Amino acid sequence: MSLTSLRTFFYHLRLRYLITCLFLIFSVCASGQNFEEDIKSALKKKPILDLRSDSRHSFINQSGVSVFGVKGGIEFDRKLRFGLGFNILATELNSIITYDYEGIPTTTDDARLVFYHITPYLEYVFYKQNRWEVSVPIQFGFGNSYYTYKTESGQQFNDKRKFILTYEPAITAQYKIFKYFGPGFGVGYRLMLIDNNAIKETFNSPVYIFRFKIFFGEIYRDLNN
């Protein structure tokens, strides 16, 4: 067996273990006796602003890439959060494609991959202790992927643009270094529910999350005391 085959085998083996662990975590959280009571109780509290940025490191065709995102929404009782975000591929990833230039098939190796989506998200915090909190965030993504390139005359074109739909479950931990700010990290998986089959790249991948959060709840409570 070649080195490439071994690498691919262990890559998919890690994916299976990761997906299994995520589903086990979701099952435990969803079946907890206090889950429904937590949600009902949290929704009775006054909502506050939820704002954060994150960087999701994943793989496209086994090449490491970063997807930068920002999110804004509302939070209930430090237990339940939901809102809307925007994510875009931050790593420059070039591909070789053939396009039609003045009726002549032309090849370029400088076609840049573009990937972005709008992401409704939902997050449930199931553990809080001192400066730590552990949560289960889930987000869907509605967007596009395509190639952008310049022709021999210098004109820029977008090619093979299609709609995509993603689903990203994860588990994250947040640590409050300062009273109002704190970093977080987590692991998840990006699953393409609707993929762009016109491009070569594959977006199904494990996701490693690094994020920065502003604790508006603490700011709100201090301003009202």
The pLDDT assigned to 18 comes to: 53
Q: Are 159 and 147 in contact (CB under 8 A)?
A: yes
The pLDDT assigned to 13 comes to: 46
Q: Are 204 and 13 in contact (CB under 8 A)?
A: no
CATH number at residue 71: 2.40.160.20
The pLDDT assigned to 224 comes to: 73
% of the chain at pLDDT higher than 90: 29
Domain count, the chain: 1
| Residue 166, both tokens | 């993603």
The pLDDT assigned to 130 comes to: 80
Q: If you average pLDDT over every residue of the chain, what do you get? A: 81
CA distance 175 to 82: 20
Host domain of residue 103: 3-223
pLDDT of 156 higher than 50: yes
The pLDDT assigned to 7 comes to: 47
Give the tens place of pLDDT for each residue, 175-222.
888 777 888 999 888 989 999 999 988 888 889 999 887 777 677 677
- pLDDT grade, residue 4 (50/70/90)? very low
CA distance 76 to 144: 32
Residues 6+ away with beta carbon under 8 Å from 39? 79, 80, 124
Provide the terminal-to-terminal Cα distance of the chain, rounded to the nearest Å: 67
For 58-97, the DSSP string reads EEETTEEEEEEEEEEEEEETTTEEEEEEEEEE-S--EEEE
pLDDT: is 107 or 115 the higher one? 115
CA distance 38 to 126: 9
